[in-house]
Structure 1
Amino acid sequence: MSFGKFETTIVPSEFGTTFTVDTPVAFKVNDHLETGIITKQLKNSAVVELDHTADNKQLINQSNGVVIINYKRMKKL
């Protein structure tokens, strides 16, 4: 039995309107400044693909290189 794939359109909040896909952003994870590119918008946050640096190898391994960050916690680069 197959249920198919549910495809819903996610409308970002007012804070998310400036953080579109492919926007470079900066944010803090555990008090460390990280940077990355938005790959998907969610309602109140975005999926961000992390930039690889010498300091964030452990974070990249733990998160598979992707984190979800609230729009209010990031800034455009």
Structure 2
Amino acid sequence: MSTFGKFETTVVPSEIGETFTVDTPVAFTVHDHLETGIVTKQLKNSAVIEINETADNKQLMSKSNGVIIVNYKQMKKI
């Protein structure tokens, strides 16, 4: 069986990213609105964040399917 198109690579986060490990709660700004979420995957210079749903962010949740990629420099640990 072929594994064409499927690559397993190890991503090493940048020095700033070492602070934001998986399951870390974070705050960030999207379209001038403060949002919160949890890191689900680390990338080199950013992370995949599962957004916490609130009454005010239903449109963002709908557009992004509840996840967003955020640069480490734009996140704060909470």
What's the TM-score once normalised by structure 2's chain length? Answer: 0.95
Q: 2-side partners of 1:54 and 1:38: how far apart?
A: 21
Please name the residue that 2:40 is paired with.
39
Alignment size in residue pairs: 77
Map 1:64-75 to 2 at 5 A.
Answer: 64-75=65-76
Please name the residue that 1:16 is paired with.
17
Unaligned regions of 5+ residues in structure 2, if any?
A: none
Unaligned regions of 5+ residues in structure 1, if any?
A: none
Deviation at 1:4, TM superposition (A): 5.8
Q: 2-side partners of 1:8 and 1:52: how far apart?
A: 31
Q: What do the CA deviations read for 1:17-73 (whole angstroms, capped 9, x no partner)?
A: 000000000000000000000000000000000000000000000000000000000
Deviation at 1:5, TM superposition (A): 2.2
Please name the residue that 1:55 is paired with.
56
* Percent identity over paired residues: 78
Q: 2-side partners of 1:74 and 1:6: how far apart?
A: 28
Q: CA RMSD in A?
A: 1.2
Q: 1-side partners of 2:76 and 2:5: how far apart?
A: 37
What's the TM-score once normalised by structure 1's chain length? Answer: 0.96
